[in-house]
């Protein structure tokens, strides 16, 4: 895919995001689009947001469960960028008019105290560089109509990131078994999903190490102070205006959010 087309598609996704509308899947218009093309388009989309004044606050890892990998026909996760405009905190309300077709995922967020630059990053490096872990919601959203995404579409669309919500407890990762800690997702008081840390590539630590090594090959570090969303612990749940959600993670804490 040539640079002109990459720029055009990145701009198209940026405009869709800014105007809260959807576009037809890029993969249906450009049958030969590769995952690498997707990342180039994502870069253009992020560059537009940074030009508009946003700042990078972290990264997210997506497609971390075997079920979603199978659905999208891939053998590895994807990633996207977290910007300051996406941040919400425990108990805050998210206006629906800022989103298009949101869905909620319960996740474990890592907050780094040291840079991580791959390749060669092991789980030990990740844990040593982690200031703490938090319960969080990732509110995924898609600028592709009706979520009709192939892997190339979601990669180009910043890994379908919408906004995210952080809990209010930071827990030392040495005090939690991140692979077996359980997750409960409740919507309007009803349990709509349960899961465990191992849902993300066997352990959320594996997912962060994967990201550090993948970005390291491009010379990009995970930076001290950044938030890394490590992937969904259960299937995502659609949300509408008025919904009240809570995620609780064993040994870590919880996080609530309302959609208004």
Partner 1 sequence: MKLDQATIAQLAEHLENCELKARDTPKITDEHSAMDWDDAYAIQDEIRRRKIARGSRVAGLKAGLTSFAKMKQMGVGTPVFGFLPDYGAVPEGGTITVDELIHPRIEPEIVFVMKHALKGPGCHIGAVLAATDFVMPGLEVIDSRYRDFKFDLKSVIADNTSSARFVVGARIKPAATLDLRTLGVVLEKNGAIVALGAGAAVLGHPATAVAMLANHLGARGEEIPAGAMIFSGGITEAVAAGRGDNITLRIHELGSVACKFV
Using CB under 8 A as the criterion, which residues of the chain lie in contact with partner 1 when the complex forms? 66, 177, 179-184, 190-191, 194-199, 202, 233-234, 248-251
Q: How far is the CB of 180 from partner 1 (least distance, A)?
A: 4
Report the residue number, 17 or 247, with the smaller CB distance to partner 1.
247
254: which 2 tokens?
């919880």
Residue 247 in contact with residue 254, Cβ under 8 Å? yes
Q: How far is the CB of 108 from partner 1 (least distance, A)?
A: 11
Per the document, the length of the chain is: 260
Helix (H), strand (E) at residue 204? helix 204-216
Distance of alpha carbon 83 from alpha carbon 251, whole angstroms: 28
Q: How far is the CB of 125 from partner 1 (least distance, A)?
A: 24
- In 3D space, the residue among 166, 174, 159 whose CA is nearest the CA of residue 126 turns out to be 174
Residue 44 DSSP SS3: helix
Q: How far is the CB of 60 from partner 1 (least distance, A)?
A: 20
Report the residue number, 102 or 106, with the smaller CB distance to partner 1.
106
Report the residue number, 194 or 244, with the smaller CB distance to partner 1.
194
Report the residue number, 102 or 231, with the smaller CB distance to partner 1.
231
What number of other Cβ atoms are within 10 A of residue 1's Cβ? 16
Distance of alpha carbon 237 from alpha carbon 186, whole angstroms: 10
Report the residue number, 83 or 183, with the smaller CB distance to partner 1.
183
Report the residue number, 33 or 234, with the smaller CB distance to partner 1.
234
Q: How far is the CB of 186 from partner 1 (least distance, A)?
A: 9
Report the residue number, 127 or 198, with the smaller CB distance to partner 1.
198
User: In angstroms, what is the C-alpha Rg of the chain?
Assistant: 17
Distance of alpha carbon 80 from alpha carbon 211, whole angstroms: 10
Q: How far is the CB of 208 from partner 1 (least distance, A)?
A: 18
Distance of alpha carbon 248 from alpha carbon 195, whole angstroms: 10
Helix (H), strand (E) at residue 6? helix 3-19
- In 3D space, the residue among 138, 142, 68 whose CA is nearest the CA of residue 109 turns out to be 138
Q: How far is the CB of 85 from partner 1 (least distance, A)?
A: 31
């Amino acid at each position: 895919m040539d640079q002109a087309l990459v720029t055009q598609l990145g701009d198209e996704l940026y405009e869709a995001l800014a105007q809260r509308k959807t576009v037809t899947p890029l993969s249906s218009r450009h049958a030969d689009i590769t995952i690498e093309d997707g990342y180039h388009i994502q870069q253009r989309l992020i560059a537009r947001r940074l030009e508009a004044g946003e700042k990078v606050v972290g990264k997210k890892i997506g497609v971390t469960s075997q079920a979603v990998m199978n659905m999208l026909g891939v053998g590895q996760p994807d990633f996207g960028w977290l910007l300051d405009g996406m941040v919400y905190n425990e108990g805050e309300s998210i206006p629906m008019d800022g989103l298009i077709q949101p869905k909620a995922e319960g996740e474990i967020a890592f907050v780094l105290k040291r840079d991580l630059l791959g390749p060669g990053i092991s789980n030990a490096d990740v844990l040593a560089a982690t200031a703490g872990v938090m319960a969080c919601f990732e509110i995924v959203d898609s600028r592709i109509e009706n979520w009709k995404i192939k892997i190339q579409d979601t990669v180009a669309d910043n890994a379908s990131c919408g906004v995210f919500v952080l809990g209010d407890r930071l827990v030392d990762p040495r005090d939690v078994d991140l692979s077996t800690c359980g997750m409960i997702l409740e919507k309007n008081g009803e349990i709509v999903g349960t899961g465990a840390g191992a849902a993300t590539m066997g352990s959320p630590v594996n997912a962060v190490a994967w990201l550090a090594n993948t970005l390291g090959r491009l010379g990009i570090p995970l930076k001290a102070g950044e938030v890394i969303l490590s992937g969904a612990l259960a299937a995502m749940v659609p949300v509408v205006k008025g919904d009240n959600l809570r995620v609780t993670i064993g040994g870590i804490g919880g996080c609530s959010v309302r959609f208004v």
